[in-house]
Structure 1
Amino acid sequence: MGQAKARGPYAKTPARKAEIVRAARDSFAENGYAKASLRDIAERAGITHAGLLHHFRNKDELLAEVLADRDAEEWQQGLEAVDSPSRLAPYLGELIHHHQKAPELMRLWIELAAAASRPDHPAHAYFLERYERGRTQFADGFRDEAARSRLRADVSPESAAVLFHAVLNGLQLQWVLDQELDIVGPVTDFVRLLFDHGSAND
């Protein structure tokens, strides 16, 4: 662990935390949450076990950070990739295929989201903020489309945003239960249903 000491394992820098989060994501994806150990994660990150605990108090806190980091990364990718309704369904298909390469992370996200429904859960505030932010930003995007007569006239932007999250999360839960199930097709159909006159495919 000489390298870890040379790096300064107790230096609380964003770069060091990012290394730990990347190592934890790999460990959770390969071993599952239950079998992944903090010592393995520390070794992957090139620091001591004590050094890791200086940044994260326990495995639950680290899991929440891994999933939050993935959320932020994918949200930024979505903002860059989706500039019109025609790009929404293809992007979601790509995102789902990416998630399916790491089914354990999908399962962990679903489990944490359910556990965080309890007001006293450490991740409760994060998930509330996450969904509120997502609904607001998606509703704003759908509202822009509605102004150009692209969104179905009988669906409000606010409802479209809520339905979007419900469909995407619900389909991923079904896939975790049955990994033979095609969920890309239903997502594409859902996007098509949101827009009038087939405009999502224009």
Structure 2
Amino acid sequence: MAKTHDAERAGIERRAKIVNAALTLFATQGYRGTSLMAVAEAAGITQSGLLHHFSTKQALLAEVLAERDRQTFDAVEIGRDYSGPAVLRALEIVHDIVERSRGNRELTRLGHLGAFGSNEIPEIALAWARERTRTFHANLSALVAEGIAVGDVRADADPDAVASLVIATISGLEEQWLLDESFDMLGAVRAFVRLLRHDLLVTP
């Protein structure tokens, strides 16, 4: 039993090494510019060892995208306690997500290619982008509705419209930054959050 447990743990650790190596390479060289051989070398294993865990490059990409989201949520402490209005915490998270996107240019670009479709990336990225947007919209809309119910958010606010506005703003700011790296994406998102707080909250 001990040997089985050790083997399982080693397999989990090896898989994590592969995913982290791929995440770094996709972020620096792009999806098309990264080979499975390069990922295997970066992870310190053979290509056959990599294929034992991920039979295709698309399967590896799917796990990389999932890991990117996990790392983002961990980095912005999405589950931490917060004493103020929940919608304010959501706006803080919006800022922190954009800040993290700035440090992952190629993966941010990959997300945009996935959202709009491209021959450069597989269908799995499009499915990921759609689900990510759907979940983000649902969560934001629910937080705004909750804020209305408890009196933190103006009663005439439209939860779905607010969620769509936030998502569109993040996407638009990232797109401007992808086109021009000198664009102050963080400054723009701070200005947006200030405006939204002033217009949305009962007590800005």
Give the one of 14, 17, 20 matched to 1:19: 17
Identity of aligned residues (%): 34
Are 2:115 and 1:113 aligned? Answer: yes
Contact conserved, 1:21 with 1:65, CA < 8 A, in 2? Answer: yes
- Matched with 2:69 is 71
- Matched with 2:169 is 167
Q: Give the superposition deviation at 1:92.
A: 3.3
- Matched with 1:52 is 50
- Matched with 2:94 is 92
Any stretches of 5+ residues in structure 1 without a counterpart? 1-6
Give 1:32-51 correspondences, 5 Å limit: 32-51=30-49
Aligned positions, number: 193
- Matched with 2:192 is 190
- Matched with 1:3 is none
2: CA distance, partners of 1:91 / 1:139: 14
Give the one of 130, 135, 139 matched to 1:133: 135
TM-score (norm 2): 0.76
CA displacement, residues 41-79 of structure 1 (integer Å, 9 cap, x when unaligned): 112212210121222233333223212211133235352
Q: Cα 1:167–1:81, aligned 2, differ >3 Å: closer, same or farther?
A: farther
Q: Cα 1:90–1:122, aligned 2, differ >3 Å: closer, same or farther?
A: closer
2: CA distance, partners of 1:173 / 1:200: 31
Q: Give the superposition deviation at 1:23.
A: 0.6
Moved over 6 A (4+): none
Any stretches of 5+ residues in structure 2 without a counterpart? 1-5
- Matched with 2:3 is none
Q: Give the superposition deviation at 1:198.
A: 7.5
Q: Give the superposition deviation at 1:155.
A: 2.7
1: CA distance, partners of 2:27 / 2:164: 29
CA displacement, residues 94-138 of structure 1 (integer Å, 9 cap, x when unaligned): 33233222312211221122228xxx9334443333222222222
Matched residue of 1:144: which SS? Answer: helix
The CA RMSD over aligned residues, in Å, is 3.3
CA displacement, residues 140-188 of structure 1 (integer Å, 9 cap, x when unaligned): 2122212233334433112222222221122111110011112223323
